[in-house]
Structures are given as structure tokens and as C-alpha cells.
Structure 1
């Protein structure tokens, strides 16, 4: 039996990981049927990838049960746990049970047999399933794309998507992503064209820009998974291919021959997202990019130092911050990245652009423009705080209070007045006539506003026909 380790023996770093929310994919997997998960667990690469997504305690429990040939009593496992950490232990058992990795039967614990066999193969190298991809032999005439080229390709595809999001509706003409990418952005609620115009970024889309590239990618891939059924794609094969990509080696070419029809159809979509590179769409080889090989990893999704949007955490500039905000609403952004400049243009009136500096002001009109696009005042303030220059971080509070308050006041202005179509009923002959018609309108629940002193009230457009008919039947005098 493997040596037992108390829950209390996990170091602080692991405890931080335990306290964090589970990976975004795990709640989705919990919703799948036991049959679908059993099919998924037939692939060693899928089992290894899911194992990596678990937190430290869940991985520890799996490893302690992996090499056991029979079930273990729950009380035996329970003595390894200190009482004050029992909730963490119970939560870990619950997560593993919902993923159908762990079976709890008759007070005994055991791993899913399919998952156990596949994970053993993944760790020991056994099996010939080809679930980790089939590497292609080297072709001297057509060498594979090198790592630098793959990084440049992934960065270009990913920034095309982000740049289109932030530049849409601003009068600029950024490179337009493929129709499939646009459909995915709209289905995920990141962009909207409710008025029949070009798609524009939404409040959810702006929040999306604040996330690091790894979280952004999984946001889109989860929506892709939700769309799989309506596109008549096998969800298990889609998941298996994602997991296969995450275990491949960066800079190597792999054959498409062992892929299913669903997975071959996915190649077109994944090229658009920058996850894979192919010499031609019909090529029988493909190379995963860093976006794909780090799907289940904590490593940066894009090359270190790349500027990949508002929420990127991969470059030193993004980690340190680049925005200086003064009390006079003047903004200085020390950046030469067009994507970051486009994000600022969503809520800042830009005045000057220099090789490494952008100067602008936060104005009532620029904030109202952002509010009309669904961006909230709190999101604007959060963005400014997240990307504040190191010099700004010496102040407390970090942002000028006057600027924060004014941005929120401009938001309140937007919500201060509400317009509604309807009819104003006035000039009644007597107080009794007014009250008779008003009370009837109240019974219909169509009164929006009333003023008894002036004998008038405002009714909705939908209730006018009934009120007019009532007035004509009763012979009540009045104007409307």
C-alpha cells in the first residue's frame, strides 16, 4: 500500500491551490453522464489531463488509491485526516465522486476501473492507443515550423480576435476573424449586434479582456463545448482532442490519420483560434502551438513578453502596469501595443500618440460611450487599478478618489432618466371623472405616473385602447 500522507502535511502552496476555485472545465465535466465520462476515461491522455486539473489534495487521494487492487474502507482513509482539515477532505471526495473518478459503495472507496487503467498507462507508458498523438517522421524537404514561428502564429491569431473585439464599433477597421470565430464570440455573449449593425463588445466582453490569456482561452473553449451537440459533433471526441493537444510536444508535427471525423473537422476551428498550425488546410500534418500545449498547464499560454490584451500576465509590462492617472482626469499610458491602446480608446478620449506613450483624458463623453457599450463604471475603475503604473502604487488610495467618484456619477446620470411611450390623460371635467378613469387604469395596472392635484395621469401605450373605450362608454370628458 502507498505510504499515507496526512492532509495537514500539504505545504502552504498546495493549500493556496486548494482554496482556489476549481478549474473552469471541471464543473462542465460534472454535468456529463457517467457513460460519457467512461468513454472519455478510455483515453490515457484525457485521464492525465484531468488529473492535472485537480487540486493538490484530490491528486494526492487519487495517487494513494491508484495502485490498490481492491477497495479500501472509508474509515481507513479517514484516519489519515486531521479533524480541522476534514472539510477539505470531504470536498475532495465529493469532487472526485461527481467526476465519477471515485466510487463510494458500502463505506468503501475505489477508483473508476477505466480511469485507473488509463492513468496507469499514462504514467508508466503502457498501451498503444495513440492518445498522445502520432508524431510524424521528419521531412528534410519540408521541416516543421520552429517554436518561434509557432509562437508568432499563435500570437497573431489570438490578437486578431482580441483586437477585433475592442475595435468594433469605434470606427476602426481591424482585421476581421473568421465567421466561425465571430459566431463563437456572439454565442458566448462577448459581442453583440442587437441593432443589426456590426458586432460590438459587451460588458461581459470587457470583463473577458481583463482575464489572463489562459482563462480567456478556456472561456471560448467552454462555449465551443456547449455548441458541440448542436453542431452534431461528438462531445467526447472533442474533449479527447483538447486533452490530446495539451499533452503534445511544442515544435513537433503530428499526423491527422488517427483522428476521428469530428476531430478532423475541428482542425479548421482550432487554426482560427491559433491552437494549431498547418502548412495547408488539406495537410496531413499539424503542429500544436503554445496555446494548445499549455491548456492544462500553469505555464504561460503565449511567449513570455508578448502583449496579449488587457488581462495578459505574461509580460513584464503587464505585471508592472503602464497607466498613470492624474486628478485632472489626464491619462498617460506607457505602451506601444495597439491592442492595449484600443482597449483604452473604449473609455478614454485619446489626444496624442508617441512611440511608447499614449496621452488622453477621461471625459463625460468617453465614459458615456463606454457605458452605452455595456461597460460599467466599476469595470473601468478595475481596469485602471489592475494596470496602474508602479509609481501610482505608492499612493493610497491608488486612484484619485475624485476621478473614481466622477466616473460613478456619470454612470448614475445614465440611469437617472427613463423614457417610455404612452398617453397623458388630463383636463377632466371634475375630480370624480378623473378618479373614475384613474382607478380603472390602476385596475389594469397601466398607470405609470399620476398627479391628483392637477387631475392628470400617464398611462402605458398598451393600455390606451382599453382606457379610451372606457371613457367613451362612460361619457367622461377629458383630453388624451
Structure 2
């Protein structure tokens, strides 16, 4: 079995934030999680995602053969640590790693056995992948080649998202990827049938690559049943990939039908490399081997435009001029969503935030706060010396342009006018107000505007009143 790193990337409680996968796992049934925990690689991956305190609790219980009283463990907890301790127990219980008991404490027997096996390296389950036999004709690519392949596939997806609907013609991802982007709400079809980025899609670009990957992969898992895939097998395969060694080739013979069917999708996302679709071996890329790690999922030499928060490249002036120190096509394409680009040099792009460029972004579903958030996230280190970081005049103007767009709203309904008397007008208006369907009124002209939903009731009321008078 390949060497296994237990913690992968140790982090402190203050640095830890809940992983998106944990919420998904907590929504699964105990039966599904117990099946998942039969795989040592799955248990190790889940263990990596937990908070340091939760990992410590597991390690304290891992080698015990019997339950211990809850009071024994809680005796070690200080008053200040009681809330984090209780939160940790609650998380582990929702993951069915420990039972939901107030008296006894023990690990799920299946989880305990599998995690022990992951640590000690015993068994021949192939849970961490089965290394493929050397193939002289098709040797596995080196790590640099795998990195370049993963970067190209991932940037193809992101670049298509930001360029679609702008008249540009970037490389098109596979139909399966496009369906997933549309299904997840990151892109939507216009009336002309063209896919374009949504507000959620722009927010997606602000996330780091880890979060982006899991957002797509979780949407993929949500679609598992309708694609007649085994959800547990699909999830265990992703977790198995996260424990594999980068640069090695692994055999496909031991994979389940669901896992074999996933290979094509994972190639499209850049998570695995195969020399052709019928190959009996595959090599995971860095995108896959870092799924449950905090290590960068892409080469650090290039920024994908969706991560590297510590490497800002944008300088924004009070006169709305913007300077972006980048030559990355993806970053430039993102800026083009809300900036009027005026000049481009080998490592610098010059543009300006204008009313027209912001209105174009707003029309595409991008909000003012998202624009400001992007500018803040990728501000140049020199900009970070300013307080506030972004010019207040620019922030206020972007928000004013948004208010300008939203100041007029249209709503369908009916205009009620030509009342015979002021008394009739007030009588019907009072009835409509009780129904809470009045959108506008003008007492001087004896008219009001009611919503579409209230029209049937108002019309019936007028007809009954007219009949009574007759």
C-alpha cells in the first residue's frame, strides 16, 4: 500500500472552518455512512477534514476495545473548553462516528477498524488504489505533465464560464461539464439559448480552487441516483483519489461499475489522466490528491483567478482607473465582466470601472457587493496598506449604479378606475387593502393598482356590490 499521511496538513482550531463535504455527509443515513466507513481510505479522508479537537477525541478512543463513561472523558475538559468539546461530540455523532449517547462513549466499530487499518497499513483491500503493472508503451506522465494537464482542464471550465455570452469563443468543455454547470446554477441559458454566467457563478469564481472543486463534485454526487450510480461508491472513489500518491499509475480492474463510469467525468474535470478512454490504468492529478488536503490543488506558479488570496494583482485608483498586474487570460476575462479594458501589455492590463461596464455586469446577475468583494480579494499588496483598502468613492458609486438599476420595478396587475363616487372608491379600496393586494393608489384621481393575485376577489366584490345596488 502507498505511504499514508495521517493528518495531511495540520491546522489549528483557530484556522479551521467546516469543510463543505462534512455537511453533505451529515445529511446521509447511518446505513450509507457505515458502508462508506468500510473503506480505510474513506475513514482517513474524513478524519483529515475534522477539527483538531475532533481528531484528538477519535485518537483517544481509537485503540479502546470497550466503551467508556462520558463522565470520564468530560473530567478532562476545562470550563472554557466545554462548548468546543460539546460541539465536537455533536459533529462526530451526526457523522455516526460515535453513538448519540449521553452516558457511553465509543467509536463506530466499522470506522474504528478501518481507521486502524489505514494507520497500520494492514490488509489487502485495495482501498488506497492498486498500483498498475508497468506499461513500457504507455508510462505514467511525470508530475509536471500532470500539473499542466489539470491546469488546462480546470482553466477551460472557468474560462468558458466568464467568456460565454461576451462574444468570445473560448475552448468549450464537454457536454457533461456544461450540463453540470447549468444544473448547479453557475450558468444559465439566455432566451437566445446561449449559456452565460450567473450571479452564483461569479460568486463561485471568488472561492478558492478547493471550494470550487467540491461545489461541482457535490452537485455531481447529488445527480448520482438519477444517473443510476451508487452514491456511496462514487463518494468513496473521490475519497480514495484524495489518498493516492501523485505521479503513480493505478489499475482500473478493482473499480466498481459506478467508479469505472466516473472515469470519463473525472477526466473532464482534470482530476485524472488516461492516455485513452479504454486504458486499464489512470493517474490522479494534483486536483484529486489534494481533495481532502489544504495543499494547493493547482501549480503555484500560475494563478487560476480563483485562489491565491495572498497574491493580489489589482490596483484601483480614486478616479476609477484600474491596473491589473497579470498576464493570465482567465483573470483578464473575469475583469472584463465589470471593467472597460483599455490597454494590454505583457504583464499589465489597464482599464476603468464605468457606469456602462457595471450596468453590463448587473444585467448578467452580478451584484455590486460581489464586484467590491472581488476587488478586495485580489487587491495588490501595495493597496492593502490603504485604510480603507478600496477608495470609498468607488465603492459608493458602484452601489449607486446598482440602486439606479433597481429603482424601477415592474409588476403585473390591474388598474381600477372610473368609480361612480368617492364612497364607492373608498369602499373597494378598503376591501383590497384588507386582502393586502394594493400596489399603488391615487385618491385624487380615484384609482388604485392591484396585484394579479387579488383581481378575482376584487372583481367579485365589485360585482356583488353592483348587484346589491341594483
TM-score, with length taken from structure 1 = 0.90
How much has 1:106 moved relative to structure 2?
A: 7.1
CA distance 1:426–1:74, change in 2 (3 Å): closer
Of residues 436-445 and 87-96 in structure 1, the stretch that sits farther from structure 2 once superposed is: 436-445
The answer to whether the Cα contact below 8 Å between 1:347 and 1:362 also exists between their aligned partners in 2 is yes
1:15 corresponding residue in structure 2: 13
Aligned positions of 1:30-429 closer than 5 A: 30-103=26-99, 105=101, 107-193=103-189, 195=191, 197-309=193-305, 311-313=306-308, 319-429=310-420
How much has 1:420 moved relative to structure 2?
A: 2.7
How much has 1:190 moved relative to structure 2?
A: 1.2
How much has 1:248 moved relative to structure 2?
A: 0.9
Cα RMSD after superposing both structures: 2.3
How much has 1:79 moved relative to structure 2?
A: 2.1
Q: Is 2:445 the counterpart of 1:454?
A: yes
How much has 1:443 moved relative to structure 2?
A: 6.1
Question: C-alpha distance in 2, partners of 1:193/1:459?
Answer: 32
The answer to whether the Cα contact below 8 Å between 1:437 and 1:471 also exists between their aligned partners in 2 is no
Gapped regions of structure 1 (runs ≥ 5): 1-11, 476-480
Question: C-alpha distance in 2, partners of 1:177/1:142?
Answer: 25
CA distance 1:234–1:437, change in 2 (3 Å): same
Q: Write the deviation string for residues 237-293 of structure 1: whole angstroms up to 9, x where unpaired.
A: 011101111111111111100000000000011001000011111111111000001
How much has 1:134 moved relative to structure 2?
A: 0.8
Question: C-alpha distance in 2, partners of 1:304/1:474?
Answer: 77
Gapped regions of structure 2 (runs ≥ 5): 1-9
The total of aligned residue pairs comes to: 458
Question: C-alpha distance in 1, partners of 2:307/2:248?
Answer: 26
How much has 1:454 moved relative to structure 2?
A: 2.1
Question: C-alpha distance in 1, partners of 2:105/2:132?
Answer: 42
Of residues 246-255 and 186-195 in structure 1, the stretch that sits farther from structure 2 once superposed is: 186-195
Partner of 1:450, secondary structure, is strand
How much has 1:21 moved relative to structure 2?
A: 2.8
CA distance 1:298–1:423, change in 2 (3 Å): closer
How much has 1:455 moved relative to structure 2?
A: 2.1
Question: C-alpha distance in 1, partners of 2:13/2:324?
Answer: 37
2:4 corresponding residue in structure 1: none
The higher-RCO structure (CA 8 Å, 6+ apart) is 2
How much has 1:441 moved relative to structure 2?
A: 5.0
Partner of 2:322, secondary structure, is strand
Question: C-alpha distance in 2, partners of 1:255/1:371?
Answer: 48
Question: C-alpha distance in 2, partners of 1:78/1:465?
Answer: 64
